[in-house]
Amino acid sequence: MSKLVNRAGRPHSGQMPGLVEAIVTDNVDPEKLSRVKVRFPTLPEQPESTWARLNMPMAGRHRGWMTIPEIGDEVLVSFMHGDINHAVVVGSLYNGVDLPPYANEDGENNLRVFQSRSGHRVTFDDTKDAERIELVTHNQEIRIIWDAVGKVLSVYCGGDINIEAKEHINVRTQTFSLSASEEVNIEAGKALVMQSGSVAGLLGGSQVHIQAPDVVIN
């Protein structure tokens, strides 16, 4: 039990000073205000709270930071003006059962990690001369890596990548390479224009086919 709370029971004034550890018991708010209910295992009879608001890094009308604790998570609770009927969850706590995704074993404290329940993860790596940002899915089948040192953006997908724009897709670079182990298909609904400022080449390892009702070569 927290040393901030008297084991003899709640203060007779209905006031609860300090902070109290709690366990989330419900996170489906009927009023859709992203509140939770918690149980206080360190208090006599382990009472359950009314709906408690969550302290977020940012909150506003249809905007802000949205992370609701899972049922069974340990949280830290304060009380508005000490009123035991107005609990506020001010943060979440790791413990011997709910371990953090990153333990800072090397003591360098280079990583900032945000990881979801299933394992989707965003990592900010401040390792000297290896700084990068990494976004990965739980199964590692989709990875996006921003390499700050090499100035390289890498994207890997274990399946398909679909890019769609209502109007234009523009790609500008010094050198552009396109390679496929099997086929490359380019299709235009109206016109296909391929232009070179200097030299243009079309090579076929076996044959080159050009087919159209009218073929003009100048």
The residue among 143, 148, 152, 156 whose CA lies nearest residue 127 is 148
Is 70 exceeded by the pLDDT of residue 186? yes
CATH of domain 20-92: 2.40.50.230
- Mean pLDDT to the nearest integer, 157-185: 95
Instruction: Specify the amino acid at residue 11.
Output: P
Q: What percent of the chain has pLDDT over 70?
A: 93
Kindly compute the dihedral angle of the four CA atoms of residues 73, 29, 21, 47, in this order, to the nearest 10 degrees.
-120
Q: Is the model's pLDDT at 179 over the cut of 70?
A: yes
The answer, as to whether pTM is greater than 0.75, is yes
- Judged against a pLDDT cut of 90, whether residue 130 lies above it is answered with yes
Burial 92-107 (b: 16+ CB within 10 A, else e): eeeeeeeeeeeeeeee
Confidence category of residue 14, pLDDT binned at 50, 70, 90: low
Q: Which secondary structure element, helix H or strand E, spans residue 211, and what is its range?
A: none
Q: What pLDDT, on a 0 to 100 scale, did the predictor assign at position 7?
A: 38
CATH topology of domain 100-174: Nuclear Transport Factor 2; Chain: A, (3.10.450)
The Cα 110–Cα 119 span in angstroms is 20
- Confidence bin at 218 (pLDDT 50/70/90): confident
Residues 174, 183: Cα–Cα separation, whole Å: 24
What is the Cα–Cα distance from 63 to 178, expressed in whole angstroms? Answer: 40
Same CATH topology for 20-92 and 100-174?
no
- Strands 53-54 and 87-92 come out as parallel
Confidence of residue 15 (pLDDT cuts 50, 70, 90): low
Residue 3 has pLDDT above 60, yes or no: no
Q: What is the mean pLDDT of residues 9-16?
A: 52
Task: Look at the chain and count its residues.
Answer: 218
Answer whether residue 12 shows pLDDT above 90.
Answer: no
Mean pLDDT of 108-129: 97
Cα separation, 195 vs 197, in Å, equals: 7
Each domain of the chain, given as residue ranges in start order, spans 20-92, 100-174
Q: Give the strand pairing for 132-136 and 121-125.
A: antiparallel
Q: Could you give the angle at the alpha carbon of 125 between the alpha carbons of 124 and 128, nearest 5°?
A: 145
d(CA 172, CA 194) in angstroms, rounded, equals 15
Distance from C-alpha of 197 to C-alpha of 186, rounded to nearest angstrom: 21
Percent of the chain at pLDDT exceeding 90: 76
Can you give the pLDDT at residue 4? Answer: 33
